Amino acid sequence: MKVVTTIKEVRENVKQWKKEGQTVGFVPTMGYLHEGHGSLITKARENNDKVVVSIFVNPMQFGPTEDLDSYPRDLEKDSKYCESLGVDLIFHPEPSEMYHDDFSSYVDMSVLTEELCGLSRPVHFRGVCTVVNKLFNIVQPDRAYFGEKDAQQLAIIKHMVQDLNMDIEVVGCPIIREEDGLAKSSRNTYLSPEERKAALVLSQTINLAKQLIADGEKDADVLVAKMKENIEKEPLAKIDYVKAVNGLTMQQQKEIKAPMLIAMAVYIGKTRLIDNTILH
Ligand code: PAF
């Protein structure tokens, strides 16, 4: 496995592979890898000849008061993990390699980015779309892998690929959870032991939603109200949003019917966590 820091080195490797007729699977990450990322890498490994993982904490997708500086980083541990999963190349650029001083081109999507996380993180999806677009141009993958935990991000990337005629298959992979149900996230490391327990309210509320739907609930407003009521019982939790939206357009929907995304962002102390379930 190679670890490279420049765009030139990625291009040289990928060019050679393509010349040999090999397919390339790509997993973009911000590092501090966990089993959620591992499941994306494993899927990429199964379905492609070569696997590239990018590790880049993208400054453009963080707001001024967000956790860019404290975002956890551990390249050595990430490299070992990638190697154990059969990754061929890690791309780990410095911000200056990705964004030159005179950088001024952005990918700015409307509609889908204006709901859910886009409301509380106004610059976030512009940063995500711009960096993913750049990474796609650099790596030129056949397939790219994203987790369903960031369901809005996944829908946005699929839409961007379609809108901009990119010849890349975007593959979504299921949420990976801890044994007690908490969705795996690099940000879980911010939680104190007490907050870690309180954070279970997210997955428990997702399970409640699934149960209510299985029991025949059809009204999205009723579902959301019951979910909020459940979260509010946890003193350390503060709701950012709980919403039931169309899974493709991210627009609110009255009736519970597929494709639907039932998603939430909840602060546990200072840590903002997300979780969801998708009705396919
Ligand atoms: O999901 C993430 O980790 C990031 O948003 C991504 C896709 C790597 C872009 O920086």
Q: How many CB atoms lie within 10 A of CB 130?
A: 20
Q: How far is 219 from 216, CA to CA, in rounded Å?
A: 9
Q: What is the pLDDT of residue 140?
A: 98
169 strand-pairing partners:
143
Is 164 marked as a binding-site residue?
Answer: no
- The structural domains of the chain, with segments of one domain joined by +, span 2-173, 186-279
Q: Which of 33, 57, 58 to mutate to test the pocket of ligand 1 (most atoms within 8 A of CB)?
A: 58
The label of the residue with tokens 């999507």 reads 109
Q: 186-279: same fold as 2-173?
A: no
Q: What is the pLDDT of residue 178?
A: 98
pLDDT digits (tens, 9 = 90+) for 66-123: 999 999 999 999 999 999 999 999 999 999 999 999 999 999 999 999 999 999 999 9
pTM across the whole model: 0.97
**Closest residue to atom 9 of ligand 1, CA basis:** 128
Which are the catalytic amino acids?
37
Q: How far is 161 from 169, CA to CA, in rounded Å?
A: 8
Residues 6+ apart with CB under 8 A from 246: 252, 253, 259, 260, 261
Is 81 marked as a binding-site residue?
Answer: no
pLDDT digits (tens, 9 = 90+) for 144-167: 999 999 999 999 999 999 999 999
Domain 2-173 has CATH 3.40.50.720: no
Atom of ligand 1 nearest to the CA of 57: 10
Q: How far is 246 from 266, CA to CA, in rounded Å?
A: 20
Residues in the chain where the model's pLDDT stays below 70: none
| CATH (one of 3.20.20.70, 3.30.1300.10, 3.30.70.60, 3.30.230.10) for 186-279 | 3.30.1300.10
Task: Please list every protein residue whose CB sits less than 6 Å from any atom of ligand 1.
Answer: 28-30, 58, 61, 128, 131-132, 150, 153
